[in-house]
């Protein structure tokens, strides 16, 4: 019943709505980029859901090395905080600019992990200063929308899979992601050419799809005053007293 439901908001987004970003040049220095660089954030879906991440990383780096995204562009890969990186694959790519956030208390994916306050603030800075975000089905699309950053969803495979369950494409059928996607503000890249097209379009027109991204925020976050943690805490205390 509605009378038994309390909507408090998303407390881990309080940093987004009330925080202040680190100055751009200072932040770029922390990720080893010069002040005249722009960067694209790629968010892999994770090894549990697919074996496509390394293929896509290599594709993005190849396209960028061929200047398909223009000049002075870097690719920053942000691995999921609740997943594990294949160290052998990582060693094959010493050129990779990447981040591996979170602290894992378990050897099982998603079993027990956390991100500290410093890492949450770093993610906020990353989203504030990235040019755009590329990924598969991921909640980071909502994070990106909060910062009004263009979002490109990958909807193709570089090589055929033995099983459709190894491909992240079928996750686009999930009910909760459909709701977010139907709000607009997210562009699908159905092949390599479309990926290049949308990256270049967004780099030139970052305000494109602004209104649809605002709709994502309204529908997925609902409360954006930056006091959700306080609101939920107060509700719990009042409930205990009553």
- Write out pLDDT tens, residues 50-100: 778 889 999 999 999 999 999 999 999 999 887 788 889 889 999 999 998
Query: Does the pLDDT of residue 176 top 80, yes or no?
Result: no
Q: Give the whole-angstrom CA distance, residue 184 versus residue 85.
A: 32
Q: What is the mean pLDDT of residues 142-149?
A: 95
Q: How far apart are CA 126 and CA 116, in angstroms?
A: 15
> Residue 171: pLDDT above 80?
no
pLDDT band at 148 (very low <50, low <70, confident <90, very high): very high
User: What's the whole-number mean pLDDT along residues 31-55?
Assistant: 89
Q: Is the pLDDT of residue 45 over 90?
A: no
Integer Cα distance of 60 and 146 in angstroms: 24
The single residue listed with the structure tokens 């309080």 is: 14
Distance between CA atoms of residues 205 and 208, nearest Å: 6
Cα–Cα distances (Å) from 36 to 29, 45, 71, 97, 107, in that order, read: 11, 29, 10, 17, 40
Closest CA to 120 of 12, 11, 228: 12
Question: Is pLDDT at 180 greater than 90 in this prediction?
Answer: no
What pLDDT score was predicted for residue 159? 78
pLDDT of residue 9: 93
pLDDT score recorded for residue 162: 67
The per-residue pLDDT for range 87-141, each reduced to its tens digit, is 898 899 999 999 988 787 777 665 677 888 888 899 999 999 999 999 988 889 9
Distance of alpha carbon 141 from alpha carbon 144, whole angstroms: 5
pLDDT for 111 equals 66
Question: 3-12, 126-135, 161-170, 212-221: lowest mean pLDDT where?
Answer: 161-170
pLDDT of residue 184: 76
Q: Rounded to 5 degrees, what are φ and ψ at 154?
A: -80, 130
CA distance 210 to 81: 28
Determine the distance from the C-alpha atom of residue 172 to the mean position of all C-alpha atoms in its chain, rounded to a whole number.
Answer: 15
Q: How confident is the prediction for the chain on average, in pLDDT?
A: 89
* 8-state DSSP, 242: -
The pTM of the full predicted model, rounded to 2 decimals, is 0.89
Q: Give me the pLDDT at residue 235, please.
A: 96
């Amino acid at each position: 019943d509605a009378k038994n439901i309390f909507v408090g908001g998303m407390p881990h987004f309080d940093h987004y709505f009330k925080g202040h970003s680190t100055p751009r040049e200072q932040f770029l220095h922390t990720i080893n980029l010069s002040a005249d660089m722009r960067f694209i954030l790629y968010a892999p879906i994770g090894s549990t859901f697919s074996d496509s991440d390394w293929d896509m990383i290599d594709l993005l780096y190849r396209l960028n090395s061929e200047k398909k995204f223009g000049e002075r562009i870097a690719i920053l890969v942000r691995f999921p905080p609740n997943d594990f990186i294949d160290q052998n694959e990582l060693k094959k790519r010493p050129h990779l600019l990447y981040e591996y956030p979170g602290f894992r208390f378990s050897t099982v994916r998603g079993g027990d992990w956390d991100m500290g306050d410093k890492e949450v603030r770093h993610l906020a800075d990353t989203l504030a200063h990235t040019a755009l975000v590329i990924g598969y089905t991921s909640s980071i699309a909502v994070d990106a929308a909060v910062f009004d950053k263009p979002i490109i969803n990958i909807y193709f495979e570089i090589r055929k899979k033995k099983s459709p369950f190894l491909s992240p494409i079928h996750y686009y059928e999930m009910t909760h992601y459909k709701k977010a996607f139907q709000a607009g503000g997210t562009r699908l890249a159905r092949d390599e050419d479309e990926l290049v097209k949308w990256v270049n379009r967004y780099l030139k027109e970052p305000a494109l799809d602004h209104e649809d991204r605002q709709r994502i925020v309204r529908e997925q976050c609902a409360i954006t005053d930056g006091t959700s943690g306080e609101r939920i805490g107060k509700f719990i205390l009042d409930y205990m007293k009553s």
